[in-house]
Structure 1
Amino acid sequence: MKILLATVYHYPHTGGLSVHVATLKAGLEARGHEVDVLSFSDIPEFEQKAKVRGPGFLMNKLSKGKGFVYGLKARKKMLQKLMEQVKHKNYDIVNAQEVYATFAALDAGMPVVSTVHGYLTYEALSAGNILKDSPEERFLMEEEVKAYRSTRAIITVDTRIKEYVEREAGVSGTAIRNFINVDDFRPDTENKAAYRQKHGVPADAPVFFVPRRLTKKNGVIYPILSLPAVLEKYPNAQLIYAGTGEAMEEMKRLIAERKIENNVTLLGAIPHHVIKEYYALADVALVPSVHSAGVEEATSISALEAMGSGQPLIACAVGGLKEIVDHNVDGLLVEEKNVEELSAAMIELLDHPEKGQELAKRARAKIEAEYSHLAAAEKYEEIYLGAK
């Protein structure tokens, strides 16, 4: 088949959606399909600024949320134009990665199935992009329902999102949990010392790695709040974040207030291939997601990558994380926002590295058996064939 993966956001970029697209593309191509990606990155930079970012910024200054909605509509129009330009390639199916990519394909007259990665309206509320009980909130929910009812098939990345789509739009979808390239993300501990030297990480420091976009629902402040208790026993412990987002300033403030600047590193956005090196140099990976404005973590790609990379994982018991982590078997689950419980789990894995190694070993086996990109691609293929 000829398949077009489409998103109104940038590709590639830091974040789970971009990783999902790249990994799905690799899996489908391994199965013999021809796969292209069309994204906002294919729009010239000057057009992005002149037609989306600039006007959206000004509109938000006048009324919170209006610029956000305007930006989504503008991205849709621009993506639709790109689709019309490649329509002659006769794609068998377009797999839209969100609501407005779905609208772009529909208006371009192309056959489309939609992957739902999250909750558009609730996530916009959680991130502060729109206001609660505003016209923008009502409009976005109406747009979600319209998209879910108009596409040929719905794929969701966990069962909770499947239930959400069915509840809000009355449409039954297929839940295919997120997945990773099991060949890319695999244990690499033999290079741990070399990676630490390369990235300037002390050779003897216990390292906690948080590969998370810095946004409220990802709970990124809680490792900072939990670290002081860890430092009482392990004063040279390091907490390293990879990601960007609107929570950055709050995190910097919390770090300064606790005087732990020497123990916390905010890397910002780093390339995905470099993320693998940080998994390898770390001792423990943290995925501290929380409920926020009705949003909860789906099948976290970060958690899957950590488990595939052979690192012991501590995650919060919310959303899809409860589906992929079996507590005390292949990872540790802690109560969300519970600073003391997270601190205790961090200390436990430093006190008992052999336990962490055993958890990591079982986690890798689970990833190979249940979360391979090749197995997921086969499931997507079946849906594409049924929707042609």
Structure 2
Amino acid sequence: MRIVVLSADDPYIRGGAGGKHVHIKLFIKGLKKNGYKTILISPHLFNRYVMLLFYDYIGGIFSRILKNKNLAYLYRLYVVKYLLLYKFKTKVKNFDYIVCEDILSIEVANMVSEKKKIFAVIHGPIVKEAINHHSINPNIKFPSINLMEKIEKSSYKKVSKIIAVDNNIKEYIASFNFPEEKIYVVYNAIDTDRFRLTNQQEKIEIRKRLNFSEKKVIALIPRRLVKKNGVIYAVKSLAYIKTNFPEDYKKLVFIIAGDGPERKEIEQLKRENNLENLHMLGYIAHDKIVDYFKMSDIVIIPSIYSDEFSEATSLSALEGLATKNLVIASRVGGLKEIIKCHETGVLVEDKNVEELGNKILDFVNNKDRYTSIIERGARYCQNNHRYDLHAKKIAEILFKE
């Protein structure tokens, strides 16, 4: 059986740290491990100078000179669509099924499917995410948000079955009148071979190599700096701890691994509160970030409900569990589906700075109380979120009649 995985995103760009990028690479690896011949078609296969001209340069004219983000976004969608179409026709000779990773891929698949079934894995609401990431502006009248949502809606109607990564996304897709019985929830998976902590000595050695103290409690926030990820609330919780519990603040180190449009606001908050224990490392490629997970004690996923959607099944949360961190996450979206509070991790209300700060403080002063929670979280990941089992489950749903 020959499977084509089609993606409008380049899963190899800048080390592929995004959740969707990691999913695609692990999904293909898992399919191959389960005996499926699999090929990926995505823009990374195209000449980079062509991409620079048609995607970056001309798209930039719409955005910077015409001051129309929406037009730039829509233009880039069509550029990628037709580049994908060209690449599919030149690279793929025969296939049995196409698995699409986004709505552009669905559009292309329908142009080349030869009446074969098309499937999709949907990671989130594309238009709402674009608003949240500041890629489009809901106040611009042309092209309007409604026009883009119509494109999204029409795409879903063209597939046979859809995999949603959590129940929120399932409900979202169903809201476009897609039959619920054809939507299957399969939570995300991680590379549990890489994301696992062998022993405490490994943690100590990594800290020495990366110049972090062995004695501090390290809290990692592995998040892109966009509104929905709520990183600013984690920083506010550190400011709360410094103001109210200065001695405990001295025991803590916060590390933000990620970049994005919220960076300036977070840097300003850091300066205003003199948060010298906060390290902003910027973007870290996925093949490098594993060491930061392994050397940490806490992983914070402070996501919020924003622009009418919230966090899906966070890969960072799963990677935090697998590397034996206490994962403290907001009670939103897919996070509350994969984390059982005080069983495999800790859940707090989103935007509740004091509650988050107090949970961190409780861990700092009562580590032993959380040992069994951390161990259960690691076992849960090993048993339920391995990439090979994940790919096998999706294949059984999609490819078997």
Q: Which TM-score band applies after superposition, normalised by the shorter structure?
A: over 0.9
Query: Which deviations, in whole Å up to 9, do the C-alpha atoms of 1:28-59 show, x marking residues without a partner?
Result: 12211122222222222211111011222221
State which of 130, 138, 146 in structure 2 corresponds to 1:132.
138
State which of 256, 262, 277 in structure 2 corresponds to 1:241: 256
Contact 2:134 2:261 in 1 (8 A): no
Residue correspondence of structure 1 range 237-386 to structure 2 within 5 A: 237-260=252-275, 262-386=276-400
Partner of 1:168: 176
Distance 1:355 1:100 in 2: 48
1:141 has 2:155 as partner: no
- The one-letter code matched in structure 2 to 1:28 is L
Decide whether the 8 Å contact of 1:11 with 1:40 is kept in 2: no
TM-score by length of 1: 0.95
**Superposed displacement of residue 177, structure 1:** 1.1
Cα shift readout 1:270-320 (whole Å, capped 9, x = no counterpart): 222322111111110011100110111111111111111111100000011
Contact 1:126 1:295 survives alignment (8 Å): no
Aligned-partner Cα distance in 1 for 2:355–2:168: 25
User: Equivalent residue for 1:213?
Assistant: 224
Q: Which amino acid aligns with 1:161?
A: I
Could you report, residue by residue, the CA deviation over 1:143-176 in whole angstroms, capped at 9, with x for unpaired residues? 1111110122211111111111111233331111
Correspondences of 1:59-70 after superposition (within 5 Å): 59-61=62-64, 62=66, 63-70=68-75
1:34 is aligned, of 12, 19, 37, to 37
Partner of 2:194, secondary structure, is coil
Q: How does 1:191-230 map to 2 (within 5 A)?
A: 191-230=202-241
Moved runs in structure 1, 4+ residues, more than 4 A? none
Tell me which amino acid in the other structure corresponds to 2:308. Answer: G
Corresponding letter in the other structure for 2:90: Q
Q: Deviations 1:182-203 (Å, cap 9, x if unpaired)? A: 2222223331111111112122
- Alignment map for 1:35-74 (pairs within 5 Å): 35-61=38-64, 62=66, 63-74=68-79
Structure-1 separation of matches of 2:284 and 2:361: 27
Alignment check: 8 A CA contact 1:330 1:359 kept: yes
Unmatched runs of 5 consecutive residues or more in structure 2: none
Bigger mean CA deviation after superposition, 273-282 or 128-137: 128-137
CA contact (8 A) 1:14 1:243 kept: no
Please report how far the alpha carbon of residue 228 of structure 1 lies from its aligned counterpart in structure 2 after TM superposition: 2.2
In structure 1, how many angstroms separate the alpha carbons of the residues matched to 2:333 and 2:389? 23
Contact 1:120 / 1:140 at 8 angstroms: preserved in 2? no
Alignment match, 2:165: 157
Paired AA for residue 212 in structure 1: R
Q: What CA distance in whole angstroms lies between the structure 1 residues aligned with 2:262 and 2:95?
A: 40
Aligned counterparts of 1:316 and 1:298: Cα–Cα separation in 2: 12
Checking the alignment, whether the CA contact within 8 Å between 2:240 and 2:353 is kept in structure 1 is no
Structure 1 counterpart of 2:269, which letter? L
Instruction: State the shift of 1:129 in Å.
Output: 2.1
Counterpart code for 2:145: E
1:323, distance to aligned residue in structure 2 (A): 0.6
What secondary structure sits across from 1:4 in the alignment?
strand
Instruction: Say which of 75, 78, 96 aligns to 1:92.
Output: 96
1:207-239 CA deviation, whole Å, 9 max, x = no partner? Answer: 100111111111111111111233422314211
CA RMSD of aligned residues (A): 1.7
Contact 1:16 1:301 in 2 (8 A): yes
The amino acid of 1:255's aligned partner reads K
Counterparts of 1:284 and 1:33, CA distance in 2 = 37
1:264 Cα deviation after fit = 1.6
Determine if the alignment matches structure 1 residue 83 to structure 2 residue 98: no
> Deviations for 1:327-359, whole angstroms, at most 9, x for unmatched residues?
111111111011111111111111111123221
Task: Give the secondary-structure state (helix, strand or coil) at the position aligned to 2:3.
Answer: strand
Contact 2:196/2:294 (CA < 8 Å) preserved in 1?
no
Number of equivalent positions: 385
Question: Which sections of structure 1, spanning at least 5 residues, go unmatched?
Answer: none
Amino acid at match of 1:68: Y
2:196 equivalent among 186, 199, 206: 186
